[in-house]
Amino acid sequence: MKTKFFALISALAIVGVSAPALAMPMSDFSLPPKASQVAENVFYLGEARDAETNSLVEGYAIIHYKKTKAKKNEARPRPGRTACYGFLSSGAKWKYVEPWVFNGTNSSGLSASLLFENFVPDVLKWEDAADGVTGNAISKNILGDGVETGNTLVADTVSPDGVNEVYFGNIEDSNAIAVTIVWGVFGGPRRNRELVEWDMIFDEVDYDWSLSGAAGAMDFENVATHELGHVFGLADLYNSSCADETMYGYADNGEIKKRDLNSGDIAGIKELYK
């Protein structure tokens, strides 16, 4: 378990905070100047030391864009390849269960507690599918439990700080719906690869949010389920034949099809955590 997480929880207990009661200052997010694009909408953040283990890890920021930004001529699957899933790095997955914190304070008027209550089952969808079957009441505990906080959270673009964070903020790129940052070991022998930390930001300046699939807003469950795929170690898909998968790389207002995992999503999480 992460020591900074428990320090944060202790602080919340002292002041009696269980859920955001007052609006906290939003955190701005922008890619650091040193970030370099290494794949479509994926940016390398560099190397740093893990706050808990002092081991050398690498960071990546994955940006989720609105559908209108999609290229007109999307790539087709390579000949002979039909599976609609991919990995941030083959074998890079969670080996230890860690807690996470969630600040649902937002400018769309949504209840922070309802957002948290929506996010928890979004996590469970992926854990339920890790054995290749959904709805069978058998799941793996991969990400651990979360807790609400009223503290201002800040995504880690320079080095991991020991806390997995989820919040709404101002993403500098106005086309970006959300950003997920993942730190881990992505190279070297496959057996040594692992994920060690994650942060997730939902843009509340350029987009309205909904819990009901409203036509003029981004559906929180739809986007959150997609972003969590990155947290578990799955990559975006940009083949038009994979457009119905949760891990398809673009989203749009009112879209809800990513709420439920598709066959490629299920096959991918099973392959990674077998």
Domain count, the chain: 1
pLDDT of res. 19: 38
**Domain that residue 80 falls in:** 3-272
Identify the bridge partners of residue 210 per DSSP, sorted by sequence position: 219
pLDDT of res. 67: 83
pLDDT of res. 237: 98
CATH of the domain at 75: 3.40.390.10
Query: pLDDT band for position 68 (50/70/90)?
Result: low
pLDDT of res. 82: 57
DSSP state of 263: H
Query: pLDDT band for position 27 (50/70/90)?
Result: confident
22 has a pLDDT exceeding 50: no
State mean pLDDT over 237-263.
97
Q: How many angstroms separate the CA atoms of 146 and 100, rounded? A: 5
72 has a pLDDT exceeding 80: no
Q: How many angstroms separate the CA atoms of 79 and 199, rounded? A: 35
CA 184 to chain CA centroid, Å, is 14
DSSP SS3 for 268 = helix
DSSP state of 259: G
pLDDT of res. 1: 42
pLDDT of res. 83: 84
Q: How many angstroms separate the CA atoms of 223 and 182, rounded? A: 17
Q: What is the pLDDT of residues 177-197, one digit of tens each?
A: 999 999 999 999 999 999 999
pLDDT of res. 162: 95
